[in-house]
Amino acid sequence: MSTALDIQTLEAAAIWYVQLKGTNPCDAERQAWRTWLQASPEHARAWARVEKLHSQWAGLPADVSLTTLAGGRARRREVLKILAVLLAVGGGGWLATETVPYQALMANQRTATGQRRHVRLSDGSQVDLNTDSAMDIVFSGQLRSIRLHRGEILVRTASDVLGRPFVVQTPQGTVRALGTRFTVRCGPGRTDVCVIEQAVELRPLDNPVQVVRLDAGQQSGFNRQQVGPITPAPAGAGAWSQGMLTVVDWRLADFLAELGRYRAGVLRCAPAIADLRLSGAFRIDDTDTVLENLRQSLAVNVRYVTRYWVTVEPA
Amino acid sequence: MSAPDHAALQVLYSEHNGWLKAWLRARMGNASDAADLAQDTFVRLLTSRDVTQIREPRTYLSAIARALMIDKFRRRALEQAYLEALALRTEPLEISPETRLLIFETLVAVDTLLDGLGERTRQIFLAVQLEGLNYVATAARYGVSVTTVKKHLIRAMTRCLLLTED
């Protein structure tokens, strides 16, 4: 039996791995790595472990793996609290699958900038995640709940055989669906809700007795203390789930701020043209083409400092 | 294992196996799971310390059994999460039952490897290894420098290498 590898050797292997994986290594770097590898059989053994792990991980499907690991941890956190108590007092039968008290489903769903995702939930409800969004799906025996951490979702609820309420929780409060289709957008300090079909109820976190009902075609926003005024929902709310951004008589600055959510990097609007007005339907999957269209239709200049730094300015 | 150890283990087994099985059954609600774990507990003893040195056999046995029970529970929690993750997919994953199992075993290994790492180290490791994010994008997501991302990755990788067999 071979001896255990010492921690310095393993750390050296880890450093090489991180270094070589991160960048396209130059010849000198590759040569240095080869020299290290051949310097001792221990190094070669450590590197063999690196390759073993690497090939194992390479076969993992990303979304399923991330959801599984997050879900396993969430379950464990909940049950370990109960476990600690029960182990101490010797409770009976709790570990049998049927009797695990926490039956929640927790799944981490996340999109990157410019990405959208359609998710079908176990009860038949559907959720679209807009660009740069993150949510957890938490279903228990009593409640169907979505925790929206960031970004925007479009929800179509299905009626539940168990009759469980459906809620979206944000840092500012909760949105309870009354059998419906609606969008929830979670911004800094504020949640905006727009109802497309039927109705929802809004409850600010610190003021749960203030319940405000929103009906189809209405929108409103709330912070932790209160719900703001109710206004008519804009045309094309939720159109992003079809890849469209629809605007009617928007300021150019507002439009670019919205468009900027769908592209990586910085999209700036020069103050001199901020108040230009525009209307139309735009494809958010191809923001470069949208900018090109703006250049032609509004007679503005689109200046690319880099791919990720774009300024729209007077022509 | 030396002869006195062997004898001591036999005594330990005959005196406490019945008690241990009952202890486990009370907590697991399932006689066959309890019998399996009792067996595993004694197997663990074989490979651990000098059996003759054990002063409080039942305290010691129940400590091992408890750890094994938690392992079993972790595995079950992960298994549930895995089935749900597969069910949650918009398009079903077209894979054979063997691959399905292989993926699960790898996830159990990853979960064990990452246990005990800090939350941030874990997040960064998963972003790079599983999501396939590059260092710059990872650094931007967590609001840290690329150097910090590398530090976290080295920490995670060193731990993984330490816990991996040749």
A105 touches B84 (CB < 8 A): yes
Q: pLDDT at position A103, please?
A: 28
Interface ipTM: 0.76
Domains defined for chain B, CATH in brackets: 1-94 (no CATH), 116-166 (1.10.10)
- With an 8 Å Cβ cutoff, is B117 touching chain A? no
B112-155 pLDDT, tens digit each:
888 888 889 999 999 999 888 899 999 999 999 999 999 999 99
Chain B residue whose CA is closest to A15: B154
Residue B73 has pLDDT above 90, yes or no: no
> Which of A13, A22, A64 has its CB closest to that of B85?
A64
Residue B51 has pLDDT above 80, yes or no: no
Q: What is the mean pLDDT of chain B?
A: 84
Q: pLDDT at position A14, please?
A: 95
Q: pLDDT at position A200, please?
A: 93
- With an 8 Å Cβ cutoff, is B33 touching chain A? yes
Residue A107 has pLDDT above 50, yes or no: no
Count of beta carbons in the 10 Å neighbourhood of residue B48 = 11
Q: pLDDT at position A95, please?
A: 39
Residue A269 has pLDDT above 60, yes or no: yes
A216-266 pLDDT, tens digit each:
999 999 998 899 999 999 878 888 998 889 888 899 999 999 999 998 888
Q: pLDDT at position A229, please?
A: 94
CA A100, distance to chain mean position in Å, is 29
Residue A79 has pLDDT above 70, yes or no: no
Residue A45 has pLDDT above 90, yes or no: yes
Q: pLDDT at position A87, please?
A: 47
Cα B113 to Cα B122: distance, rounded to the nearest angstrom: 10
Enter the tokens of residue A224: 């932790």
Of A3 and A69, the structure prediction assigns the larger pLDDT to A69
| Angle of CA points A154, A159, A165, to nearest 5° | 80
**Which ranges of A59-184 does DSSP label H, i.e. alpha helix?**
62-89
Cα B126 to Cα A66: distance, rounded to the nearest angstrom: 8
- Least reliable range by pLDDT among A116-120, A158-162, A256-260: A158-162
Q: What is the mean pLDDT of chain A?
A: 83
Q: pLDDT at position A271, please?
A: 92
Q: Do B102 and A59 touch (CB under 8 A)?
A: yes
Q: pLDDT at position A97, please?
A: 35
Residue B91: pLDDT band by 50, 70, 90 thresholds? low
> Which of B111, B128, B134 has its CB closest to that of A69?
B111
Residue B39 has pLDDT above 50, yes or no: yes
Q: How far is A301 from chain B (nearest CA, A)?
A: 29
Of A205 and A41, the structure prediction assigns the larger pLDDT to A41
Q: How far is B77 from chain A (nearest CA, A)?
A: 5
Burial A14-37 (b: 16+ CB within 10 A, else e): bbbbbbebbeeeeeeeeeebeebe
